[in-house]
Amino acid sequence: MSKQVPGELLEIADALMPGISLDAARFFQGGIHDVVLLPGIAAVRVSQRPSGAQALPRRTELLRVIAASGLPFAVPEPLTPVMMFGERAAVAVSWLDGAGLPDGVGDPARIGELLTALRELVVTPELRAVLGAPRMYSDGHHWADILAEEVIPRLPGKWRDVGLRRLEDALALEPVQDCLVHGDLGGENIHWSEDGKLIGVLDWDRAHLFDPAIDAATMGWLHGWDNLREAVDSATYRRAQVWDRTFGVTHLVAALDGRPMAHVDSFVQHIVAWLEQERDPTSRRG
């Protein structure tokens, strides 16, 4: 939800976009960045913490490469260099029209087109260079080892065997070719026109190379699993279910995106809350 823009962020937006009126500026607070929205013109992303400032140049280069990759929808493109303002880094990216859809709403044909475009995109050497290494942490640890050695042992006793079985189910999936995975296809990150056409996708901070069924699972949560069943083939649907059962797909992505896990205990708490609320997971998949 947008809010009144803090003065510090208005100053940063003005420095990045001189001469642009800020009268209509709005403020959105994300998990990693504060964002100054300039409707119809740009979105100014400002890092909240030193780790975000350090990562912003790579994330901005990733946007540039993905925007130039030939996807059949818009991707925010950098409009300015990344600039430092004290300890905060900031960049302006192009505006995307349209809006997200409410949970449970979506045309299976359109959902399928989006997932197909991501799956079939040719991963060039340039794109591979700005994405995380497939299936690996940047420090060389396999994502499954992190879950098995750091996460599952911290689960309450009643969930440990469940966690191990679900991890084993995921590891038993047949390997597929690594594709561009967005990793966070939430409602506000996919912009549609009023007549239901896909305009663009933003927030590529979690993009990585992996199984495209990860994005399918995220779309299942957003648009409903019955919609997803109609949007993808049966094999992708089955894989999406398996990935989702591995502690919830949004949590799983945090272990797939190539960044070392700095706050394992907090991560485990979120997983336990998800497990406690899950009840019968098959009932929501149709």
d(C-alpha 173, C-alpha 51), whole Å: 34
Q: Is the dihedral of CA 66, 68, 69, 70 positive or negative?
A: positive
Nearest to 236, CA basis, from 102, 104, 118: 118
Q: Yes or no: say if 99 and 191 are a contact pair by the CB < 8 Å rule.
A: yes
Q: Is 70 helix (H, G, I), strand (E, B) or coil?
A: coil
pLDDT score at 280: 46
DSSP 53-66: HHHHHHHHHHHHHH
For 114-180, what is the HEC assignment? Answer: HHHHHHHCCCCHHHHHHCECCCECCCCCEHHHHHHHHHHHHCCHHHHHHHHHHHHHHHCCCCCCCEE
Topology annotation, domain 7-94: Phosphorylase Kinase; domain 1 (3.30.200)
The CATH code that applies to domain 108-284 is: 3.90.1200.10
Question: Tens-of-pLDDT digits for all 286 residues of the chain?
Answer: 456 899 999 999 999 999 999 999 999 998 889 999 999 999 999 999 998 999 999 999 999 999 999 999 999 999 999 999 999 999 999 999 999 988 888 899 999 999 999 999 999 999 998 886 555 555 556 888 889 989 999 999 999 999 999 999 999 999 999 999 999 998 789 999 999 899 999 999 989 999 999 999 999 988 999 999 999 999 999 999 999 999 999 899 888 754 567 788 999 999 999 999 875 444 444 3
Residues of the chain with CATH 3.30.200.20: 7-94
What pLDDT was estimated at residue 186?
81
pLDDT score of 134: 55
Q: Where in the sequence of the chain do the CATH 3.90.1200.10 domains occur?
A: 108-284
Would the pTM of this model clear 0.85, i.e. be above it? Answer: yes
The whole-number pLDDT of residue 285 equals 40
Q: Is the dihedral of CA 91, 131, 181, 171 positive or negative?
A: negative
